[in-house]
Structure 1
Amino acid sequence: MSSAPSHTAPRRATITDVAREAGTGKTSISRYLNGEMSVLSPELRARIEAAIERLDYQPNQMARGLKRGRNRLIGMLLADLTNPYSVEVLQGVEAACHALGLMPLICHAANEVEMERRYLQLLTTYRVEGVIVNALGVREETLRPVGSGGIPTVLVDRSVDGLVADIVGLDNRAAAELGTRHLLARGFCDIWFVVQPFEQVSSRRLREAAFRDVMSAE
């Protein structure tokens, strides 16, 4: 009775393999991978590059990052990735990360508060170097281990009650007031304010309140 042949994945090349192939030590390989080219001779750099190509060596960026204390990961938590605003913000974040040699780790909470909490916990375990949060209803105590735990945190468009952090966004009150007054100045009087559920979203609450204030003053 014959058995089916086993298909095992080929062993991935290690830094030790590259050093042996290039005829040098692991320290030189590490310097090459870290971009410290000035301490390596042109001949040695060429040997290392050739060895990496022959062995198809792929460095473990996570392990290297943990060893150096940096992994170049930036966590981004989005409440709703289907929102056109979120897409624009994401594109800007990706462009900035690419320019700085960072890798964005995108987490889509799909407008679920529990998913926001789980993703924030996940981002801390990955030891990301920074977190960008476009929150739905995440509470301050959930974000506290991130912001106060040494991980820089930036909020996008929406504040979180009780959390002191940098925020990038619109002056929502001024924008809603400006738009409402523009319509009133044009002679419109029967004006409706249409908004998605806003009780948990600070920016929407500000716009709704500003609209009511302007309309009640007329």
Structure 2
Amino acid sequence: MRDKQTIFRHGGYEMRSHSETRWAAMMDAMRVTWVYEPQTVTTRHGWYMPDFFLPFAGVFLEVKGPVPSQIEREKALDAQQVTGFPVIFAYGRPEMLGGELFHGMVSYFSERGEVSYSTAEIGAAVRRWFDLHTYAAYLAAGEHQRRPDCVQVGEILAEVVTGLLSRQDREEYLKGIHRPINESKRAQHRQASQAEWVLSELSQKITQCWNAREAA
């Protein structure tokens, strides 16, 4: 019997869950640049490290399985206050039903309410804005995939070794892997994609509403 999977690889990163790799692949399909766990902030509930930052859109993306709890939402609002960037949640378990992705959500939670879009609604926007190849890539990336029964021995050994590290040593190990990839992505110079432009507009509106509330 194989031990529970602890390393989830995508794009050179070693992520903490399959959900994170799935949402990362969905962003890749829409040509959204992201960096992984780039910053730790202090919140009323302790340290908080959002999963992704989207530099061309100016938002954080936090991946969860179930609906985010009140404490998780408060951490996100505190992170927004510290960094100036909104934190958007991606959660649920997207799966293909009738040729569309259902059961996944992307939401922004504020003290006044929430704004949410389902993976099916996002898929409809991708189909409208992009070509069929991009839409197909989005669907393929979002569908839940079980881990293959056969994996390379090296991957299993890597999971065993990292599982023996202390939490602090493991965090340093992961930072050493992720930092150069993040720096390379941040150094990119290009125009924002259409999806990034839409997210940037949303981020600016959220920030404007937040600043107006703070000034009131």
Range of TM-score over shorter length:
under 0.3
Tell me the TM-score normalised to structure 1 length: 0.25
Tell me the TM-score normalised to structure 2 length: 0.25
- Where relative contact order (Cα < 8 A, 6+ residues apart) is larger, the structure is 2
